Amino acid sequence: MIPAAIVPLIRRAILDLLNDVGGEQNHDVLAMLLAQLGHRIARRDVAEQMRWLEMNGYITAEDIGPFLVSRILADGRDIAEGRLVVTGVWRHKTGD
């Protein structure tokens, strides 16, 4: 379980990573990339946050075999690029 205080930061990091890697990735690879940023998050928690981002219209998420594959949408890209600020997602870029 992700501590509530950093959930918005993790959501932003997921959007930043998706934006940086070309817009599409699965939850397993995103968990590894988050670990490289210092966020050791369980894959199931990454998938849960991806579902939240999907529910709010920032990404799509599709189960393909054992993986949850996400694609960033226009609003998600705008958040990642600092053009849109929304409740529940950290406003500053992560990883810099």
Positions in the chain short of pLDDT 70: 96
- Give the model's pLDDT for residue 96: 65
Domain of residue 16 covers 4-80
pTM equals 0.96
User: How far is the C-alpha of 91 from the C-alpha of 66, rounded, in Å?
Assistant: 31
- Give the model's pLDDT for residue 66: 97
Q: Does 88 reside within a domain?
A: no
Q: Sort 68 into a burial class: Cβ within 10 Å, 0-12 / 13-18 / 19+.
A: buried
- The SS3 assignment for 20 reads helix
Q: Does 56 reside within a domain?
A: yes
What CATH number has the domain bearing residue 13? 1.10.10.10
- Give the model's pLDDT for residue 94: 80
Provide the strand spans (E) within 1-96.
24-26, 59-64, 67-72
Q: Does 93 reside within a domain?
A: no
How many residues are present in the chain?
96
Give me the number of domains the chain comprises: 1
